[in-house]
Amino acid sequence: MPQFKFKNQDLGLAALLAGLTMVLLVATAPAVGLTWDEPSQIGASESYMHWVGLALRHPTQALGSEAISTYWTPNREHPPLDKLWSGLVWEAARHFFDDLTAHRLGNMMLAGWLVGLVFLLVAENYGRAAGLFGAAALLAMPRFFFHAHLDVLDVPVAFAIFAVTYLFWRVVDRPEWWWALVLGVAWGLAEAVKLNATFLPVALGAWLVIFRRKWITLPRVAAIGVAAPLTFLLAWPWLYHGTFSRIIGYIKFHVNHNPIGAWYFGHYDLPPPWHYALVMTWAVTPLTLLLLIFAGVARAGRGRQDGGLGWLLAISALVPMLPFIVGHSIVYDGERLFLAAFPFLAALAGVGFGWLTGRVRELAERWKRPALAGLITLACAGVLLAPPVMATVSLYPHLLSYYSAGVGGLPGATKLGLETTYWAETYAEAIPFLSAHAKKGDRIWVEPFSYDIFIYYQMHGRLNPGLVILNDAPAKSLLGPDAPQPVLGTFRTADWFVVESREAQYGEFPEEVALRDFLSVRKPANELSYQGVPLLRVYQK
């Protein structure tokens, strides 16, 4: 039965891991290009900070309908908690860091705390070696390491889901009823980060059915069910006025999401088939870690020796993928929409490593060389972590193009017909070239609705402000009213074309097919590639 007590040494190690992770992320952040969703998050965070300033000066006015609509409309498609957190950190950090790093810093802090939590959960139940390996495994997953830098919602909701699961594990057997309210508040806060947290009860409920079939559970579940939605509502000022209609709008946005397809085994699918999430997890998880994850799952399947924690980790790793496996939810962008599974997979890798260290100790004792156990364990950790770490170093910062040895790396994935990259993070590589070759007034075509990436670079002096950024539909910058605005125009009216190797952008719509045919007969003026696979091309008309 888990107890709500900590070992000081474990807490110290968790804090050290969190701190080292933050330092590593901050040090490596400048090379990570701005991604598609970050301008929307940045614009919303800054708008929320204006509201916070108003609330401190005139709280009654700030809570009025006009102020709420003015400041909380940006990015109202998603709950606000992480944007509010990022904005608060940005307000302090922008005096010490560049603007983009300052906006990203809050989420990098959450990523560090997540690494510390993975260590704590695994170490407390399977030993410190297992906990340390689980924490290292999470950072050694190249795609997760990339996402950990960004000012978007995927790592924050992964942190929130893991934190609630950790709290659940620590208090599930506590007799005090008020822990149910604490869990309800925690779940409500997680839901106020991103919709993905809504599915938390599926994992926790399934585990309770298997391991804790007690009548006392029912009133506690009811308490959680009351506390969570109330917390969610309180955490989102946008819902303070027109509550019902705005909740309906929030639901409709996700039910009727914009159609975004995926490039999957050489086909444009909208949506891709049920196995997409499982295959992509296999394809982007380092092979050596996958082997340990399977070992961790096998150990969980042995029964109740760990109180059911292994089962909780395995179920929690699967649930983020379930909406895409059993339903008709749109899934795209590789692993991004089920990134919350990865901390649990890393924890399972730690469990598997704990099993391995046990076998190593047995072997060392059989050889009557117990001192060898530590050296062999370190060697095993090095062998298992070296391939993904080397891959990260080799491909950095373009880690959204990472594929594991299980599919033959990026060249093998390309042959299989998996998407080369996404989210426009490679656009940063085009900035020096355009700055050197494009002339004032030149019109730049980028992937539809990714114009704000170039506008952000213009606002912060990295790209010539005299260049005209096109969008093929009427649109406004999400970076705020003071930002330059995109100009309506198609690729046919452009002087330059910046094209990432996101095959899904050449879908089945006539304009997309026309663009593909238009570029197929042209030679790029500049190209970024890795192992012979193009990641980004810049064309001149």
What is the DSSP secondary structure assignment for residue 239, as one 8-state letter? G
How confident is the model at residue 141, as a pLDDT?
A: 98
Judge contact between 389 and 140, C-beta under 8 A. Answer: yes
Residue 120 has pLDDT above 60, yes or no: yes
The pLDDT value recorded for residue 459 is 95
Dist. CA 327–CA 339, nearest whole Å: 18
Q: Which residue do the tokens 């006009």 mark?
A: 66
Cβ-count burial 386-412 (b if 16+ within 10 Å, e if not): ebbbebbeebebbbbbbbbeebebbeb
Tokens of 107: 């989420």
- Binned at pLDDT 50, 70 and 90, residue 370 comes out as confident
355 pLDDT more than 50? yes
| pLDDT class of 303 with cuts at 50, 70, 90 | low
| pLDDT score for 320 | 95
Greatest alpha-carbon pair distance for the chain in Å reads: 77
Q: Of 61-70, 183-192, 205-214, where does mean pLDDT reach its minimum?
A: 205-214
- Residue 134 CA to residue 139 CA, distance in Å, equals 9
Lowest mean pLDDT among 113-122, 146-155, 362-371, 436-445: 362-371
Structure-token pair, residue 125: 């139940």
pLDDT of residue 299: 83
Q: What is the pTM of this model?
A: 0.94
Q: Do the Cβ atoms of 395 and 142 come closer than 8 Å?
A: yes
- Please give the DSSP secondary-structure letter assigned to residue 464: -
Domain extent listing, the chain: 8-338, 425-540
Q: For residues 507-523, give the mean pLDDT.
A: 79
Distance CA 522, CA 501 (A): 15
Question: What is the predicted pLDDT for the residue at 510?
Answer: 72
| pLDDT score of 304 more than 70 | no
Average of per-residue pLDDT across 96-123: 97
Average pLDDT over residues 241-263: 88
Mean pLDDT check: name the lowest of 60-69, 217-226, 345-354, 467-476: 217-226
Summarize pLDDT for 393-406 with one digit per residue, the tens: 999 999 999 999 99
Helix, strand, or coil here: 177? Answer: coil
In the prediction, which pLDDT does 508 show?
63
Looking only at the bridges linking them, the beta strands covering 443-445 and 468-471 are parallel
- pLDDT mean over 177-191: 93
CA dist 255 → 24, 195, 330 (Å): 38, 11, 9
Give the model confidence (pLDDT) of 20-72 as tens digits.
999 999 999 999 999 999 999 999 999 999 999 999 999 999 999 999 999 99
First CA to last CA distance, the chain: 68
pLDDT reported for residue 1 = 44
- Bridge partners (DSSP) of residue 534 are 529
**pLDDT value at 122 more than 70:** yes
pLDDT number for residue 82: 97
Q: How far apart are CA 303 and CA 280, in angstroms?
A: 29
- Count of other CB atoms within 10 angstroms of residue 184: 23
**Mean pLDDT, the chain, integer:** 92
The residue with tokens 């809504």 is: 198
219: number of Cβ within 10 Å? 11
pLDDT (0 to 100) of residue 306: 82
Mean pLDDT for 385-392 is: 97
Give the 3-state secondary structure of 309-354.
HHHHHHHHHHHHHHHHHHCCCCCCCCCHHHCCHHHHHHHHHHHHHH
How much is the pLDDT for 406? 93
Cα gap 444→486, rounded to integer Å: 10
